Structure 1
């Protein structure tokens, strides 16, 4: 699968209550818009690799094995990262990047309960983006992918 790489963009930064800096994104998925932050302190290498891809366009499809989630299949694309801040149970609104290995590279968004898996068993992905607005629309997005098919997704610097 080919992923277009765009020049790095200046990303707006936001200071969280604990004094850490967050980088902001705007995500459009299907008919929904979300604000989000990159988890730079927890997954610095994954965030740096993803920033290089911005703006990023893809297709969300419903997961097959993992529960209430949608994913962007990326085939053998190599982001050049290993595990960091990885989990098999992302919370609703969390994006994780599976860097590849026993299954294909993918980005998964949880909209409900997720046990991240593939046909070969449980996987773990790097939690690198957290949605911060319109969390109440995640279930509708997931259901749209399930019943209407693939939905476009666009990530851009905010």
Structure 2
């Protein structure tokens, strides 16, 4: 079952919200849909891409925070030690910033299109920022 269509660069994915594990994060993100931004390759975390959100305060706290999202998992970091951001793991990730290891709320999981995660990550790494759009189905 999918809740969201994600178009990132030339790739499309379907994903489901993690309603039980991160209800507040899911509700807040749903209120932003459709959400359009650019996704760039991470600096410290490994095989991941992120959407920097600066000092944006969405009033969220930690729900089911993890530092080790699996490929296809999106986590939301509500800010604090580092800036607010959304991170997508496309391979091995230990979520971090220049301040050290961080943890974010796992709120969205890709269910279709996983074969395109590595190509998306490599495209962001070697070709730069990619447009990304999250839309409800």
- Structure-1-length-normalised TM-score: 0.85
- Does 2:102 match 1:115? no
RMSD of the TM alignment (CA)?
A: 0.8
Pick the structure with greater CA Rg.
1
Q: Which residue of structure 2 lines up, in the alignment, with residue 45 of structure 1? A: 24
SS of the aligned residue for 1:52 comes to helix
In the alignment, is residue 56 of structure 1 matched against residue 35 of structure 2? yes
SS at match of 1:77: coil
Q: Deviations over 1:59-111 (max 9, x none)?
A: 00000000000000000111211001110000000000000000000000000
Q: What is aligned with 2:104?
A: 125
* Unmatched segments (≥5 aa) in structure 2: none
Aligned to 2:3, what secondary structure does the other structure show? strand
Superposition TM-score, scaled by structure 2 size: 0.98
CA deviations over 1:91-144 (Å, ceiling 9, x no partner): 000000000000000000000000000001000000000000110110000000
Q: Distance in 2 between matches of 1:136 and 1:33?
A: 10
Deviation at 1:27, TM superposition (A): 0.3
Aligned partner of residue 84 in structure 1, secondary structure? coil
What does 1:1-158 correspond to in 2, within 5 Å?
Answer: 14=1, 24-158=3-137
Aligned length: 137
